[in-house]
Amino acid sequence: MTKNIAVIGMQFGDEGKGKIIDFLAEKADVVARFNGGNNAGHTIKVNDETTILHLIPSGILHKGKINIIGNGLVIDPKVLLEEIEKLRNKGIKVTPDNLVVSGNAHIILEKHIKEDKEKNKHLGTTARGIGPAYTDKVARSGMRLIDYINKNNVLEKQSFSGRRKSEAFSSDLKNIKPFIKNTTLLINNLLNKNKKILFEGAQGTLLDIDFGTYPYVTSSNATVGGICTGLGIGPKKIDKVLGVAKAYTTRVGNGPLPTELKDEVGKKIQKTGNEFGATTGRPRRIGWFDALMCKYSVIVNSLDAIVLTKLDVLSGLEKIKICIGYKHKNKIIKNFSNNSEILENCEPVYEELNGWNENLDGIKNFEDLPENAKKYIKRIEELMEIPISIVSIGPERNQTLILKKEFLF
Ligand code: GDP
Ligand code: IMO
Ligand code: MG
């Protein structure tokens, strides 16, 4: 029996992780975030009601689940409180019983946001202060939630411009205090009690600080390794690793995107898929599915299975392409590397498949998908050399087709 499942983005983030976590959370006991911060925007749609989560785990819409924000995150206290408030206004319960925050998570300060805005434009960051906060963490000059709670005088060390600002900050921290616990102990206790845990990745493999398209990456490990360091558990505790991939590619912000579509087809996908950032509202760049990139994610995360999302968006295209190689300096490269020289100068080698016209609304079983949609799924499965366990055909919780039950709880 599957005891816990990791859900990791296989591309550049926004693969639909939030939707899938919410879908899987029904049968889980715990949902835990391990990396990033409010650069993430995880969208969940249930009965036409859309919720976008930035810091709070995507299990929060289900009653009776424990949602954990791990030590690996960087937290903007104001944003966390606003998010709690927004959910409560929708009638969703958020209390220290169902939301627990690690005292070891680092705090995003005003100065981090300012620095991100001023210095990181060339990277196209979300300007939420993520990189500068992680920089301070690694430089050992950061402030953790627990440090603030322990020492009230710590404020004096920080560069705040005015008293009013620091008073507001102080009261934000006071309001967060009831949620703070030792989450490492908590999660290990829950694991020992055989509770079913979902590990919720933020961003995606190609945005990972080590494995992504550096320097056009985020400042944390979005890959599976981040779970151990971001929550304080050993790797043997992770049962199944699911990778989430869109049926095409999107990227917000700068950096290489070999399969980028700058034509009408790209525009059509952007429109149909409503490809605008859940955090910043920026238009997402569009490309064809890149099998090299996704195979790399399979390897880096030792994925067990794949969740393929947004298949519905490809309906109505005459031809659909899959990138199966990079042509670089007259050589055909078959294995992905995050070498920017190659990624920026290669030409994608495509395999072309026939599209389908049918709208996928209302389809409940894989068998009922149009033949060419099935062929597309099968071809991706072949290229990835691991099963596709779930196919998502719409943003709603119930627009989800299960292909392989063994990767569920
Ligand atoms: P995340 O960051 O990985 O959680 O993904 P986002 O929420 O940022 O972006 C995914 C977007 O696609 C959201 O607007 C979702 O509501 C939507 N979405 C998720 N799955 C599907 C799907 O299968 N079909 C369609 N059309 N939309 C989807
Ligand atoms: P979710 O969890 C998509 C991108 C930014 C930028 C780069 C660095 O919703 O998938 P940062 O602010 O992290 O320093 O920005 O990473 N980025 C994301 N893109 N989805 C995300 O999260 C992202 N989080 C960061 O656009 O290119
Ligand atoms: Mg997102």
- d(CA 94, CA 223) in angstroms, rounded, equals 28
Q: 134 and 219 in contact (C-beta within 8 Å)? A: yes
Which residue owns the Cα nearest ligand 2 atom 11? 125
The model's pLDDT over 281-306, given as tens digits with 9 standing for 90+, comes to 889 999 999 999 999 999 999 999 99
309 CA distance to ligand 1 middle (Å): 8
Ligand nearest to the CA of 51: 1
- d(CA 134, CA 137) in angstroms, rounded, equals 5
pLDDT tier at 254 (50, 70, 90 boundaries)?
A: very high
Q: What is the pLDDT of residue 15?
A: 98
- d(CA 323, CA 334) in angstroms, rounded, equals 10
Prior bond of 395 cis (ω within 30°): no
Task: Find the mean pLDDT for residues 157-183.
Answer: 80
* Among the listed residues 27, 20, 31, the one whose alpha carbon sits nearest the alpha carbon of residue 1: 27
Q: What is the pLDDT of residue 45?
A: 98
Q: What is the mean pLDDT of the chain?
A: 95
Show which residues are catalytic: 14, 42
161 has a pLDDT exceeding 70:
no
35 has a pLDDT exceeding 80:
yes
- d(CA 241, CA 24) in angstroms, rounded, equals 13
Q: Taking the model in full, what pTM does it have?
A: 0.96
CATH node for 245-407: 3.90.170.10
256 CA distance to ligand 2 middle (Å): 14
Query: Ligand 1 pocket, 232 CB below 6 A?
Result: no
38 has a pLDDT exceeding 90:
yes
The length of the chain, given as a count of residues:
409
Which residue owns the Cα nearest ligand 2 atom 20? 13
Q: What is the DSSP string of 49-98?
A: EEEEESSS-TTTTSTT-EEEE-TTBEE-HHHHHHHHHHHHHTT---STTT
pLDDT tier at 166 (50, 70, 90 boundaries)?
A: confident
38 CA distance to ligand 3 middle (Å): 10
The burial class, CB within 10 Å (0-12 / 13-18 / 19+), for 201 is buried
- d(CA 64, CA 294) in angstroms, rounded, equals 35
Query: Ligand 1 pocket, 309 CB below 6 A?
Result: yes
Task: Find the mean pLDDT for residues 167-185.
Answer: 93
**Cα torsion through 371, 377, 378, 381, rounded to 10:** 180
277 CA distance to ligand 3 middle (Å): 7
Domain boundaries, the chain: 245-407
The model's pLDDT over 45-100, given as tens digits with 9 standing for 90+, comes to 999 999 999 999 999 999 999 999 999 999 999 999 999 999 999 999 999 999 99
Query: Ligand 1 pocket, 51 CB below 6 A?
Result: no
Query: Ligand 1 pocket, 42 CB below 6 A?
Result: yes
